[in-house]
Structure 1
Amino acid sequence: MLSVTWPFVLILLPLPLFFRQTKIVDQGGHLQLPGVSHSIKNHSQQTVKRSRKLYWIMWICLLCAVARPQWLGDPIELPSKGRDLMMAVDLSGSMQIEDMVIDGKIVDRFTLIQHVLADFIERRKGDRLGLILFADHAYLQAPLTQDRRSVAKFLTDAQIGLVGKQTAIGEAIALAVKRFEMVDESNRVLILLTDGSNNAGNIEPEMAAEIAAKRNITIYTVGVGAELLERRTIFGKERINPSMDLDETQLQKLADMTNGQYFRARNSEDLARIYQTIDTLEPVSRDQLSYRPKKELFYWPLLMSLLLSMLISAQQHFQAGLVLPAFKRGGKIV
């Protein structure tokens, strides 16, 4: 719908009627050229009559521009409150182990996390999401934001080995705590996904979790990796446990310290159920606010007013050019 920000400006519409055109009476002492002065006066009056309508249209356009017309779009609902949910994803070298399956196709662990986490991000409408990537050290890839599309894009663009080959779980937790301190109070949740144990960084995970507990941050830890993997060797098929490096005891402890939970993701179905469970434990806020997007329209009447002023000016110069050459030819209008 169309809206006007300052409609009171329109009361100035009849203002030009208060200004009367005054006539200057020559009382003598000036050179009078018979015929020329009369002709110029007639041309002047004709110009005023012809331009009067253009002046009025230009004045109306100017007032419309000053009144700031706007086009209001459809109402869009936004939550007034939401949870701050930070996701910390392991990018160590072991995440490239291919022991997961998506739609019958064998993929590595990180590809599975990207696939399932993208759907989780899409469902978290109303929450502020952030993304931390960690390996040798932890790095903030996306600050807390309601732009879920950007967070999903950052996750899609991430690559294994981008920040090293080891696993700095403690640094990931500490970085999340630091980022939570920079926002207002809210339900603070950290989802930490890893397939190994802490073997890098300059802070122990338990120490970081203790600080997180004091800051009322809930940590949900997720251990990723299959328990059985078959591979072919020169001696035949060999069965191994690809998740031997996963420290489930530590991940369980980190979750318990912060009133969270530990989950084990052995396949894509497990990981999908984990995210559904987290959705239940940490539901999105339902307090809604609405706003209507605005599109400014003032530049259209302003442009029209400018074009009219140029047209009036060109018209006056053209008519003046018809009189002056005649004046130069002896003071007679032909």
Structure 2
Amino acid sequence: MSLKHRLVIADKEQLETKTKEMLKNFFKISHFKGNTQELMSFLKDGDFLWIRLEHYLDQPFFSKCPNIRCILTNTTGLTHINEEMAAKRKIKIFNLNPEDKLLDQISSTSDHSVGLFYNLVRNINLATHDVSKGNWDRSKFKGRQIDSLTIGIIGFGRVGKKINSQLKYSVKGVLFFDVEEVSFPNDQLNLEKVSNLGNLLSRSDVIFICTKEQDNRVSVVNKDNINKIKKGAYLINTSRGSLMDFDACYQALLENNLSGLAIDVYEGEERGHMLHKSVLNSVYKHNLIITPHLAGNTKEAWELSEKVVAEKLINFIN
């Protein structure tokens, strides 16, 4: 088959080898490492574009590149792409969605969430940093025993269910809240579905935000309900930055109403916004963990998620 299409991979890293093998008979693959402004000049009419989270595609991009064929991204969210502008130009977008059964094999986000959980409740980051300064003082870092804790999961979808599976035998109990009707294991004795978010916030020792982004981008944990959180609880967000009012949660941490806060996402990251320097400087002063959207960033997750998107692309051109 002749190579009729150009597929531009706009990311610091190439596609996984298995993905390139799938696509090489259909596309001439070009790897682009520049910024978004340079990408707009690099693209040609009819190109297929594959991005991850390196680029934010909004009005300037679509005005400059109105005739690319398709945008591909092996991500579940599309906060880095203006879907309305793409639709106006009839540019197809392929990403990951809950119907993709292969995603059930990916545990990377729940793995990361659980890792943050253990790190927070045992003060591992704080203690490690203190030792690096030449100290050896365990008295400052008294943690919590896992089987004494009740965890609360906001959003009992794929990731929420996996967190439950990974922790259900270790923790005292699991609460979950979801605005949608979801299936759950009725035979798990320490699992409880709560009727409202306030109930979960007030009873949970550790809270995981796992729900999908709200249509109106309203935070599920914000200044209006932060005071409902059980004093001394820990809060973890690996879902979407817009789901948490970071300023309100950070203030709760500073005032010791939260014992720990961990985020893998924050509002505005897709547009290149960075957290205030005062926040970044406080990481080792408070039990605060910030990771740069690492939750899904594993070799296994990339291979599987790229396979899903690549298959959609091949079906599209055929």
Range of TM-score over shorter length: under 0.3
Higher strand share: 1
Larger radius of gyration: 1
Higher helix share: 1
Higher relative contact order (CA 8 A, sep 6+): 1
Using structure 2 for the length normalisation, give the TM-score: 0.27
Using structure 1 for the length normalisation, give the TM-score: 0.26
